[in-house]
Amino acid sequence: MDYGETLAAAAVREAREETGLDVQLTELFHVYSDPARDPRQHTIATVFIGTATGVPVGGDDAVEAAVVTAASLPAPLAFDHATILADYFAYKRTGRRPPYAR
């Protein structure tokens, strides 16, 4: 997030930089703030859900970009990203969001 930028604007900008896609955000999914989620420093991930069209292409600091399903996730994923994606796929199946204490 750049100084003076909203989280939503940063998410749209980052998606474009990393995938080449223009994303329309539809909802705020969850915030992940466990101090242990990134061993380098305490970071917070604010996760949005959105829509986009087109074919993603890796850009900026992303080596590649792809559309995946729960069954086709690559492994391992960095930090707590496997948890974030598992929470998202569970939400899509059940409509239940993850607990706040995560």
- How far apart, in whole angstroms, are the C-alpha atoms of residue 48 and residue 50? 6
pLDDT in tens, 16-61: 999 999 999 999 999 999 998 888 999 999 999 999 999 999 887 8
- pTM for this structure? 0.88
The domains found in the chain, sorted by start residue, are 7-94 (3.90.79.10)
pLDDT in tens, 52-98: 999 999 887 878 888 999 999 999 998 999 999 999 999 999 999 99
Residue 19 in tokens = 């995938």
Give buried/exposed letters for 87-101 (b at 16+ CB in 10 A, else e).
bbeeeeeeeeebeee
